[in-house]
Amino acid sequence: MRACVDQGLCIGCGLCASVAPEVFEMNAGGKAIAVTDTTEANGESVKSAIDGCPVSAISQGE
Ligand code: SF4
């Protein structure tokens, strides 16, 4: 399972990359992308990013 960032919604605030830096990175366009799968080890961080995203751009993914 890998989180998915809706590129149309993301405003590039950087919160997710700050909360879960091992999962989210900011791309050249200033939007966040998930670069690794969600695991047991980073699951809580991913959840914090999903909950904290101000525009609800992050979904759990498949
Ligand atoms: S927290 Fe949401 S709006 Fe902010 S960079 Fe991440 S996906 Fe984009």
SS (H, E, C) the chain: CCCEECCCCCCCCCHHHHHCCCCEEECCCCCEEECCCCCCCCHHHHHHHHHHCCCCCEECCC
**Ligand 1 centre from 57 Cα, in Å?**
6
The pTM of the full predicted model, rounded to 2 decimals, is: 0.94
Options 3.30.1490.100, 3.30.450.40, 3.30.70.20, 3.40.50.300; CATH for 4-59 is 3.30.70.20
Nearest CA to ligand 1 atom 8: 10
pLDDT of residue 61: 83
**Ligand 1 centre from 39 Cα, in Å?**
20
Spans of all domains in the chain: 4-59
Per the CB < 8 A criterion, the answer to whether 40 and 30 are in contact is no
pLDDT tens-place values along the chain, 62 residues long: 999 999 999 999 999 999 999 999 999 999 999 999 999 999 999 999 999 999 999 999 87
**Ligand 1 centre from 2 Cα, in Å?**
15
Nearest CA to ligand 1 atom 6: 16
